[in-house]
Amino acid sequence: MTRELPLTGIVVVELSDSASAPFAGKILAELGAEVWKVERPAGDSARGWGPSQWKGDGAAFHALNRGRRYLSLDIKDREQLATLHRLIAERADVFLHNLRPGTAARYGLDAESLRVTKPELVHCEIGAFGKAGPLRELPGYDPLMQAFAGIMDITGEADGAPVRAGVSIVDFGTGMWAVIGVLAALHRRHVKHTGATVDASLLETAIAWMSVGIAGYEADGNPGGRHGSGVAFIVPHRAFATEDGALIVSCANDPLFARLAAALDHPEWAADPRFATNAARLANRTEIDRLIGERLATGTRAHWRHRLEAAGIPCAPVQTTAELVAHEQTRELGIIGSPEAGEIGVVGLPLSFDGMRPPPLHAVREVGADNELLGSVLPTRA
């Protein structure tokens, strides 16, 4: 495999803060793009996120912002704003930002303004509530969207409070959608020699993650409800306690359930009309979950994993972060790494090209570390 990555030669100017746009920029950088990250003079908010820190910046910032050139520009300053405009005009194939609603237009950084002088530019804006509707001008963050879109309403235990997913699925998902849009726009530019305006938003991403629940609601008014580690439409498909830890067991069809019943020494469950089909198990969820749980509680996690895996039953331990990082499977994949010794390890691109994963991105640098490069990449004005 050539070491040249798919986006080698593409230049991205990223004016970003927090998580969604930085995650998009990280993906583009890992795909080979040259990414110029523009921060306000105080720096990206994520530099101060805690509690974990590394070399003066939040560990979260290291996770989301490696592999860039780091600029500090105050767009409220006329000369510095002009420098940003010149950088976009002279160098950028893609301009990516997640400014608050209305801010881009105020500084001439909106798609309509920039593409007047650079029609081939791919302009990607990541917003909060989207470009239309009564909430379009409001700012927003991941937990707001998990709440607003109903994700929290169907997450957690049935008799418990609504729960936010433990990772920023809306922020990261929106970053991914933005990249998908940018890649599609770059392809269209290659074919039709025209730029594009790409819009993604946190709310639209959150609604997309609710696709199955919304389909259920549209069908019969039932969005699925809360089922803890389980799901609304498959039984069993959840975590069960063993003697020394929890184990997820998943039987997405009736033959798998029959194998599970046999592996648990209760083959009669598969013939029981209450449990023989997924529809029947859904109607009798509490009872079959109780029976499976009582059986799994009689042995260790390793014991049941060995038995279930031998029977072809999909299962997995509920691991801690420490267990995940130390696991041989994780190590063999090589997805966590660092470009040099003594640097924090971060998660790389979850893709490989011709059997090889793109190498780890270079370490984060301080705010404005690459400002001195601007003189060499921008033409001297007359």
Residue 100 belongs to some domain of the structure: yes
Q: Are both 283 and 351 inside the same structural domain?
A: no
Tens of pLDDT, residue by residue over 274-295, are 999 999 999 999 999 999 999 9
- The token duo for 3 is 């070491």
Residue 202 pLDDT greater than 50, yes or no: yes
The predicted structure's pLDDT at residue 377 = 84
Per-residue pLDDT averaged across 3-8, rounded?
A: 89
Residue 25 belongs to some domain of the structure: yes
Q: Are both 199 and 77 inside the same structural domain?
A: yes
Residue 171 belongs to some domain of the structure: yes
Q: How many domains does the chain have?
A: 2
d(CA 374, CA 203): 36
Confidence of residue 224 (pLDDT cuts 50, 70, 90): confident
The predicted structure's pLDDT at residue 236 = 96
Residue 370 belongs to some domain of the structure: yes
d(CA 63, CA 361): 10
Q: Are both 309 and 345 inside the same structural domain?
A: no
Say whether the peptide bond before residue 358 is cis (omega within 30 degrees of 0): no
Residue 221 belongs to some domain of the structure: no
The predicted structure's pLDDT at residue 381 = 61
Residue 313 belongs to some domain of the structure: yes
State which of 269, 287, 317 marks the end of a domain: 317
Least confident of 40-44, 116-120, 297-301, 335-339: 335-339
State which of 269, 289, 317 marks the end of a domain: 317
Per-residue pLDDT averaged across 348-357, rounded?
A: 91
SS3 218: helix
Q: Are both 133 and 259 inside the same structural domain?
A: no
Q: Tell me 146's DSSP state.
A: H
Angle 358-359-363 from CA coordinates, rounded to 5°: 130
Q: Are both 138 and 196 inside the same structural domain?
A: yes
State the pTM of this model: 0.91
Q: Are both 32 and 142 inside the same structural domain?
A: yes
Q: Are both 244 and 156 inside the same structural domain?
A: no
Q: Are both 134 and 281 inside the same structural domain?
A: no
The predicted structure's pLDDT at residue 225 = 86
Please say whether the beta carbons of 17 and 45 come within 8 A: yes
Q: Are both 80 and 180 inside the same structural domain?
A: yes
Could you count the other beta carbons within 10 Å of the beta carbon of residue 107? 16
Active site residues: 171
Q: Are both 245 and 105 inside the same structural domain?
A: no
Average pLDDT along the chain: 93
CATH number at residue 339: 3.40.50.10540
Residue 382 pLDDT greater than 70, yes or no: no
Residue 209 pLDDT greater than 60, yes or no: yes
Confidence of residue 1 (pLDDT cuts 50, 70, 90): very low
CATH number at residue 259: 3.30.1540.10
- Enclosing domain of residue 269: 237-317
Per-residue pLDDT averaged across 119-147, rounded?
A: 95
Residue 305 belongs to some domain of the structure: yes
Residue 119 pLDDT greater than 50, yes or no: yes
Tens of pLDDT, residue by residue over 12-30, are 999 999 999 999 999 999 9
d(CA 85, CA 351): 33
Short-list 299, 260, 301, 302, CA closest to 278: 260
Residue 325 belongs to some domain of the structure: no
Q: Are both 170 and 244 inside the same structural domain?
A: no
Q: Are both 267 and 344 inside the same structural domain?
A: no
d(CA 116, CA 109): 11
Residue 2 pLDDT greater than 60, yes or no: no
